[in-house]
Amino acid sequence: MSLAIRAEGLVKHYGETKALDGVDLEVPVGKVVGVLGPNGAGKTTAVRVLATLLRPDAGHATVGGHDVVKDPVRVRSLIGLTGQYASVDEDLSGTENLVLIARLLDHSRAGARARAAELLEQFELTEAAGRPARTYSGGMRRRLDLAASLVGNPAVLYLDEPTTGLDPHARNEVWRVVRKLVADGATVLLTTQYLEEADQLADTITVFDHGRVVAEGRADELKRRVGGQTLQVRPTSLADLDAVQRILGDLTGMRPTRDDDTGLLTAAVSDPVLLSTLVRKLDEAGITADELALRLPSLDEVFLALTGRKAEEGSLV
Amino acid sequence: MSAVALDKGLQHGLSLAWRGILKIRKNPEQLADVTIAPIVFLVMFTYLFGGALASSTDDYLQMLVPGIMVMNILQASMTAGVQLNTDVSKGVFDRFRSMPIARSAPLVGAVLADVVRYLMCVVVLLVVATIMGYRVQTGPVELVIAIALVLAFGLCFCWASVFVGMLLKTPGAVQGMMFVLIMPLTFGSNVFVGTSTMPGWLRAWADISPVSLLADALRGLLNGGPVAGPLAGSVVWMVAAVAVFFPLATLAYRKRV
């Protein structure tokens, strides 16, 4: 498996703060790796190092086999950068922005115009092509950002929080575009605060916290790592809550968590067969339930467990 | 090979200058910002104080216009720092820096676009002055030399603006700081009044200030009179400005971006 990006032991300090504290990262060619983490986890710093915008204090990284510190110009010829910090010029129109970038990438005048028109078409911005970028909606802006980063047909694409601050509709637009790129075989390093985004777009997810990698794997592997499955029961009558709690406790051998407001009982289970046993026992006791479910923990729970306080209480990692 | 070839670097600089010129066309009010203050001063001083300060408003206008050209160019040169600072804070620079172009290209582009801005400012000012009754007393050759001299002055002093632009955090702060620097520099000179009535310490400065010397050189070129002395003084100042601020600006630029 050939690697598009390989980073080893990246460290970056800002005064006292360790933005990166020994990060290893590998992105295989043709894959999408999602870097997931809360604000300040070091995601953007990692992207800036890999995009040659920042020198790491320690560690090294290569993109397409070229060292980001020793050979930044080679690296820059391979990458496209989109995101929070790399922006288009708001005064210029969509066409002008793309033509400028194409000219900077040594396209001829005519070639630059053609490339701009092609990308505007591809990103459904043809109608807005002549308008200043500042008049674009949030979703259109991000699509233009994306188009700008693709002018030079980069081998590796960095998407730094591509949908932060967008409404759900605009976010879906961006996702659709990214999915298409991925289907065409793009290699992508994606950073995001949204689990759903990583889940939707990435082949593998790397979870950052305080400048360190705290977990890695496919979305379903991460979900499994947090624990088995969860059994949830909500009896129709609140009066049955005690009885159901007892039954659930006997079955799982653990004390279920109980929410008196919603009447919901939750217990972790290791064996999915318990669900049918529970149904039978409730039936024998003559208790009906409004809600009865067996599910994997949500990625939000995974996220909290991996990066938040829950992890420190010892649930895993 | 880690550097970008020189001819490519120049071509990238030209592309970015094209961007700067597009921006002037899109935001003509930016040009107005730096031209309006000098024109306001030109009109105000000529009609309010001209009669009192010189024998007539016409005489005063002849003396004032070359000085106002210097004020105008200083105002216009502060845009470079504001613009670069805006690019850095908006992330436009990160896009450029993530591309395989010479690191200096954005700086070269900004400065080249500035020459066009300076030229437009000077032309607007001369048109307004002509309408008010100002007349070049010499010839077209002297006029061209005078304009070239003013542009060169702007190009030398714009490095101070680039330096401040890279040092301060926000475009607004850059604008404010440049204003604070430029105003006393303009008024503490012979642009508006002769230096003979100033207190000794101020006169000592005003007689050798770059603004006074360039204003005198321009008066000589446009109205007739001695040129060599003030021109030599202006050139010394220009060389000094580049010698001090160019290294400071590029250093701050490299640190910032």
Q: CA gyration radius for chain B?
A: 19
**For residue B221, how many other CB atoms are within 10 A of its CB?**
26
Strands (E), A134-228: 156-160, 187-192, 204-209, 212-217
In B, minimum Cα distance to A152 occurs at B99
One domain, residues A50 and A142 = yes
Model confidence at B93, pLDDT cuts 50, 70, 90, reads confident
Model confidence at B90, pLDDT cuts 50, 70, 90, reads confident
| Angstroms from B212 CA to nearest CA on chain A | 37
Q: Tell me, yes or no, whether A306 lies in a domain.
A: no
Residue found under tokens 């720092």: B81
Tokens of A290: 């409004």
Q: What is the pLDDT of residue B128?
A: 92
Q: Which residue has the higher pLDDT, B34 or B192?
A: B192
Q: CA–CA separation, A121 vs A134, rounded Å? A: 19
One domain, residues A259 and A166 = no
- Are the Cβ atoms of A84 and B91 closer than 8 angstroms? yes
* Range A118-134 burial, b when 16+ CB lie within 10 A, else e: ebbebbebeebbeebbe
Q: What is the pLDDT of residue A226?
A: 64
Q: In which domain, by residue range, is A238 found?
A: 229-295
Q: Tell me, yes or no, whether B106 lies in a domain.
A: yes
Q: In which domain, by residue range, is B160 found?
A: 6-256
Q: CA–CA separation, B217 vs B224, rounded Å? A: 10
Q: What is the pLDDT of residue A314?
A: 33
Q: How many domains does chain B have?
A: 1
Size of interface A-B (CB pairs under 8 A): 77
- Are the Cβ atoms of B99 and A104 closer than 8 angstroms? yes
Q: CA–CA separation, B227 vs B214, rounded Å? A: 10
Q: CA–CA separation, A250 vs A254, rounded Å? A: 7
Is A107 within 8 Å of chain B by CB?
Answer: no
Q: For A314, which DSSP code?
A: T
Q: How many domains does chain A have?
A: 2
Q: Which of A46-50, A261-265, B87-91, B101-105 has the highest mean pLDDT?
A: A46-50
How do the pLDDT tens digits run along chain A, 317 residues long? Answer: 689 999 999 999 988 888 999 999 999 999 999 999 888 889 999 999 999 999 999 999 999 999 999 999 999 999 999 877 668 899 999 999 999 999 999 999 999 999 999 999 988 999 999 999 999 998 899 899 999 999 998 999 999 998 888 888 888 888 888 888 888 888 999 999 888 888 889 999 999 988 999 889 888 888 777 666 778 889 888 888 888 888 888 888 778 888 888 888 888 777 777 888 888 888 888 888 888 888 776 666 676 767 664 333 333 33
One domain, residues A196 and A52 = yes
Is B101 within 8 Å of chain A by CB?
Answer: yes
Instruction: Point out the residue among B2, B22, B97 whose CB comes nearest to the CB of A92.
Output: B22
Q: What is the pLDDT of residue A169?
A: 85
Q: What order do you get walking across the sheet with A17-28 strand by strand?
A: A17-28, A3-14, A58-63, A66-67
One domain, residues A190 and A110 = yes
Q: Tell me, yes or no, whether A304 lies in a domain.
A: no
Q: Tell me, yes or no, whether B183 lies in a domain.
A: yes
Chain B segment 4-63 residues within 8 A of A by beta carbon are 4, 8, 11-12, 15-16, 18-19, 22-23, 26-27
One domain, residues A288 and A186 = no
One domain, residues A80 and A95 = yes
**For residue B143, how many other CB atoms are within 10 A of its CB?**
14
Q: Tell me, yes or no, whether B133 lies in a domain.
A: yes
Q: What is the pLDDT of residue A195?
A: 80
- Are the Cβ atoms of B91 and A148 closer than 8 angstroms? no
Q: What order do you get walking across the sheet with A264-269 strand by strand?
A: A257-259, A264-269, A229-235, A289-295
C-alpha distance from residue B237 to each of A199, B108, B245, B252 (Å): 62, 22, 12, 22
Q: Tell me, yes or no, whether B104 lies in a domain.
A: yes
**Using alpha carbons only, what angle is made at residue A53 by residues B166 and A178, rounded to the nearest 5 degrees?**
125
Q: How large is the ipTM? A: 0.83
One domain, residues A18 and A101 = yes
One domain, residues A205 and A284 = no
- Are the Cβ atoms of A91 and B2 closer than 8 angstroms? no
Q: What is the pLDDT of residue A277?
A: 87
Q: What is the pLDDT of residue A268?
A: 76
Mutant choice from A66, A104, A141 vs B, greatest count of B C-beta within 10 A:
A104
Q: What is the pLDDT of residue A298?
A: 66
One domain, residues A218 and A204 = yes
One domain, residues A26 and A172 = yes
